[in-house]
Amino acid sequence: MSMEDLLDKPLTPWMTGGGINGDIVLSSRIRLARNLEGVPFPNRADATRLTDIVTQVRESVGDLKKTDKHEYMFVEMEKLSPLERQILVEKHIISPNLAGEPTNRALIVRDDAAVSIMINEEDHLRIQCLVPGLDLKSASDLANDVDDIIEAKHCFAYNEQVGYLTACPTNVGTGLRASVMVHLPALVLARQISRVMSAATQLGFTVRGLYGEGTEAIGNIFQFSNQLTLGHSEQEIIENLQAVAQQVVEQERSARQALLTGSAEALADRVWRAYGVLCYARIISGQEALTLLSEVRLGIDSGIITGVPATIFNELLVTSRPNFLQKIACRAYTDPVERDRLRAQLIREKFKEERKNA
């Protein structure tokens, strides 16, 4: 997948995989924060230093290619248009921060987008690995491989007592953030989600919504991640989050089972209505689209809706985001209604296509 494909195609390859508990866990993610020894953190480094860091890290692209069957691409943030950068944000490849201030910043990304390395974000390096389903171990193994390859050539800022040094104290130690993105429509419908969220918070995990501000979870998608890294080993963090996510998956499964047993008809009515609206609406907001898509996905996962692939959810999740829509339309929107119209049209056409194929 070329850079153009990464920007144009709604589904990055890692999204189509399914993976372990892939009907509930959309992705597992590991992020490592690393800094070069003896170089000021990006927020204290001048332009020359920053350019120097980009140049240094870029040298690792060749090493990464050598040890992997995948291609790696290097791109300076300033070479991309603001729209292209926003699409990378919507696809979870880069952070909003990197997109917002592109000067002297760069990205190394694997052709399937499963590995991305942001250069000169908050830290000199932010290594991110994404795998489908609930599999933090695989994501972690991948991140460690990448980490090792880069560390072979570069010296990272490391302190024997505290571990990796990072720009923000919350990342000091392992520099690790592990997270899982889960789709929990049944727990939301059954109003059990706040209980689940507060339990996870008490265990030291952060729960946030996808694209949402704070705890607002559009499309019933939640991100569980570790709060702290200091004082915990990498293995501990990963195992704990994996265990919590496993429990959340089981609770979502029981909630789905309970819905199917106790209110199968109401559930069928709900998911089919969502399907009907997505098939025919002419104007649809991003938030409504995600809510309805979530319900349709629940319908597919529960066997209520057949003949529609579950990936329609993952695909439209990206396609219906504002910047991606703008890219498809090849122009900026002056009117938000126009965007809602294009979103409805895209969704409608996608569903029509799937109905034809079914």
Residues that bind a copy of itself (CB under 8 A): 265-266, 268-269, 272-273, 275-283, 337, 341, 344
Q: Which amino acid is at 54?
A: V
CB of 51 to a copy of itself, least distance (A): 49
Buried b (16+ CB within 10 A) or exposed e, 31-50: bbbbbbeebebbeebeeebb
Give the residue with the Cβ less far from a copy of itself, 23 or 295. Answer: 295
Three-class SS of residue 74? strand
Sign of the dihedral through C-alpha 214, 215, 219, 225? positive
Give the residue with the Cβ less far from a copy of itself, 158 or 272. Answer: 272
Give the residue with the Cβ less far from a copy of itself, 272 or 333. Answer: 272
Give the residue with the Cβ less far from a copy of itself, 313 or 351. Answer: 351
CB of 95 to a copy of itself, least distance (A): 35
Give the residue with the Cβ less far from a copy of itself, 125 or 304. Answer: 304
CB of 337 to a copy of itself, least distance (A): 7
Strands (E) across the chain are located at 25-34, 72-76, 106-110, 115-119, 125-132, 158-159, 163-164, 176-183, 205-209, 221-226
CB of 83 to a copy of itself, least distance (A): 25
CB of 330 to a copy of itself, least distance (A): 21
CB of 146 to a copy of itself, least distance (A): 46
Buried b (16+ CB within 10 A) or exposed e, 131-166: bbbbbbbbbbebbbbbbebbeeebebbeeeeebbbb
Sign of the dihedral through C-alpha 208, 214, 215, 221? negative
Give the residue with the Cβ less far from a copy of itself, 142 or 278. Answer: 278
Three-class SS of residue 284? coil
